[in-house]
Structure 1
Amino acid sequence: MDWRRLKARVLEAGAVRLTGRPADGYVSRSAAGPSAGSSGSLFFSTGAGRRVRAGIDEGSPIEIFHRGGGEADLSIDGDVFRGRLEPAALHCPRQAYITVSGSCIFHCRYCMVPSLPGRRKGVEEIVGMVAGVADRIDAVSITSGVASSIEEEEAYVLEVVAALASFDLPIGVSIYPGPETPARLRALGVAEVKFNLEAATEALFCEMCPDLSWDGVWDSLQSSVALFGPGRVYSNVIVGLGESDGDLERVMGDLAAAGVIPVLRPLTPAASLADRPRPSAERLLRLYKAHDRILQQAGLDPRRALTMCSACTGCDLTPGRDV
């Protein structure tokens, strides 16, 4: 089994069974997105930039045996792979990936955040968090729910970004955008942005995120490319909401043609989609080939990513990295 198939199988399962020596120092927990409120996750790496993130579930058919000191073996389908558990600086390895507001007024059907008692972190608190890991990170990434309004959240995130400028690290931001969000982030020196279409089609977007605007996200993505440059703008597209492979190929092609790198995110069944299946390993591998071809044709390379998901790659099969 090669690395790409191994990773696809882990993403299909969504979780691993953790055994062996205590590994608390390698377990992280999410405050945003579908994994918010879960029992935690870890990162397994075989080196050369190859890593996969998985939840922890005693019932998983995939085992990670921690031999101590981060050294670990992953057992899957009768094969054993030797690697390491990577410690997360904040949420993921080599980044301070911070959720500003852990609550949201919107109710996207795949997201647990609106049902959780999340809070907003203070600006000085966030600065302190980054300072605490500054010696082991290469970037800062900021995401957020929407605590009271899109406009108010943007204003607060701008305060956070301004306060983090002194660290002289690339900053990536992923929030729900308003019309002026890209220009305001760029004016503060943000290196990359990620505004998420989430669904492969407008109809699915309206079904999954009924209070948000598909056209608004597209407008922000297109204006961002002019400001940040092709390949510095990203958009998550969830795999498993009910779309076809053709739908995904079309939206990936549209994004790439606009200079945006699509990030294919396997569905984590949660909230009102808790009964949905995860996408199969075979589907993820099939989509990887289309994703790779579309990015190459557009001259876009996720290996150049400085921040956020395309720099981490733990949750997705990433062309150029997962080879």
Structure 2
Amino acid sequence: MQWTELKSRLLAAGSVQLTGEPAEQFIARSAAGPGAGGRGAIFFAMGSHRVKLALDPLSTIEIAHRGNGTADLYFDGNLISGRLLEPGFHCPDQAFITVTGSCIFRCRYCSVPRIGGRRKSIEEIMGMVESVRHRIHAISITSGVLESLEEEEAYVLEVVKHLAFFSLPIGVSIYPTEKTPDRLKELGVAEVKFNLEASTPELFAKMCPGLDYDRLWQVLDRSVELFGKNRVFSNVIIGLGETDAEMEACIRKLTSHGVIPVLRPLNPVAELVGTPRPSAERLNRVFALHGQALAAAGLDPRLAHTMCTNCAGCDLVPGKDE
């Protein structure tokens, strides 16, 4: 089975049961995004390829840990040997840290507002990075919104100022104000990710009440001006009710603006529990469209230094998953 086919089928399933030897050091835990508050997840790798799967003891897919990270994947009658990757924080090779684990907005696909996590202190964040400094090549920062966009931005900027101490590439993904790209650039941030989340303005309004779709586009355009091509990203969720044509139009608009789309299969949590995950067939169709649009725009996800596109665990990424 080719890697792209295997990964698309695993992402369509979304979860795995972990058996065998103790594997706590290989379990990644999320304080933001669709995996927040779950049992954790593991990264299964074959060669340079990897996939992230949520842990679920009822999953029909099994990964047996044989010890020291060596693992066997049992899937659809196949035994596939690989290894588990040890996360820095949230993902391998990076300290990907959620600053504020709560949010005043209530996007329908997100569990964070219901979990109501706390805000990490700057000292705590510095300590987290220091603890994994020997096995990371980048720092990535994301955050909910504790009080307001402006207050959250100001706090994240203080975090970033302190993180410059480590002399590592820093990527930042927060809800932006109009000035967020300029302020992050001034602090030496390497890459930014501002998330459209939905492929059409109508779906965005339905899924993210209270947030401004047009401002996201303005911020993305300003970010490309400041950071350049291959340094600006935007999450778009596959499976919110959009058609393939709508998804393709969104992908091509992003790439034509110099933005690399991060195409995330829906994890049906929060208000979307019971919504079907996108099928492997659909993920493969969108993957092909994604690759064509990136090539036409001269964009290369393999050049990403930070955040989701560098990791490529949760998504099919052209150039990295062929």
Which TM-score bucket, shorter chain as reference?
Answer: over 0.9
Mapping of 1:52-71 within 5 angstroms?
52-71=51-70
Which amino acid in the other structure matches residue 190 of structure 1?
A: V
Q: In the alignment, what sits opposite 1:144?
A: 143
Task: Please provide the CA RMSD for this pair.
Answer: 0.6
Which amino acid in the other structure matches residue 141 of structure 1?
A: S
Q: In the alignment, what sits opposite 1:44?
A: 44
What are the Cα deviations for residues 229-278 of structure 1, in whole angstroms up to 9, with x where unaligned? 01100000000000001111000000000000001000000110011011
The separation in 2 between residues aligned to 1:117 and 1:185, in whole angstroms, is 26
What are the Cα deviations for residues 77-119 of structure 1, in whole angstroms up to 9, with x where unaligned? 1111110000101110000000000000000000000001300
Does the 8 Å contact 2:36/2:111 carry over to 1?
yes
Q: In the alignment, what sits opposite 1:320?
A: 319
Q: In the alignment, what sits opposite 1:11?
A: 11
What TM-score do you get using the length of structure 2 for normalisation?
A: 0.99
Mapping of 1:150-299 within 5 angstroms?
150-299=149-298
Mapping of 1:72-151 within 5 angstroms?
72-151=71-150
Q: Which stretch shows the higher mean deviation, 301-310 or 72-81?
A: 72-81
What are the Cα deviations for residues 38-69 of structure 1, in whole angstroms up to 9, with x where unaligned? 01100000022x10000111221111011111
The separation in 1 between residues aligned to 2:309 and 2:116, in whole angstroms, is 29
The separation in 2 between residues aligned to 1:113 and 1:82, in whole angstroms, is 35
Does residue 307 in structure 1 map to residue 287 in structure 2? no
Does the 8 Å contact 2:103/2:116 carry over to 1?
no
Does the 8 Å contact 2:239/2:265 carry over to 1?
yes
Which amino acid in the other structure matches residue 88 of structure 2?
A: A
Which amino acid in the other structure matches residue 186 of structure 1?
A: K
The separation in 1 between residues aligned to 2:138 and 2:84, in whole angstroms, is 20
SS at match of 2:225: helix
What are the Cα deviations for residues 261-314 of structure 1, in whole angstroms up to 9, with x where unaligned? 001000000110011011001100111000001001100000000000000000
The separation in 2 between residues aligned to 1:29 and 1:22, in whole angstroms, is 16
The separation in 2 between residues aligned to 1:103 and 1:60, in whole angstroms, is 29
Deviation at 1:16, TM superposition (A): 0.5
Does the 8 Å contact 2:251/2:261 carry over to 1?
yes
Which amino acid in the other structure matches residue 208 of structure 2?
A: C
Does the 8 Å contact 2:45/2:85 carry over to 1?
yes
Which amino acid in the other structure matches residue 199 of structure 1?
A: A
What are the Cα deviations for residues 190-236 of structure 1, in whole angstroms up to 9, with x where unaligned? 00000000000000000000110000111100000000001100000
The separation in 2 between residues aligned to 1:58 and 1:99, in whole angstroms, is 26
Which consecutive unaligned segments of at least 5 residues does structure 2 have? none
The separation in 1 between residues aligned to 2:288 and 2:216, in whole angstroms, is 26
The separation in 2 between residues aligned to 1:202 and 1:92, in whole angstroms, is 30
> Sequence identity, in percent?
60
Q: In the alignment, what sits opposite 2:31?
A: 31
SS at match of 1:90: strand
The separation in 2 between residues aligned to 1:170 and 1:263, in whole angstroms, is 19
The separation in 2 between residues aligned to 1:212 and 1:253, in whole angstroms, is 23
Report how many residues are paired.
Answer: 322
Which amino acid in the other structure matches residue 46 of structure 1?
A: M
Which consecutive unaligned segments of at least 5 residues does structure 1 have? none
Does the 8 Å contact 2:143/2:174 carry over to 1?
yes
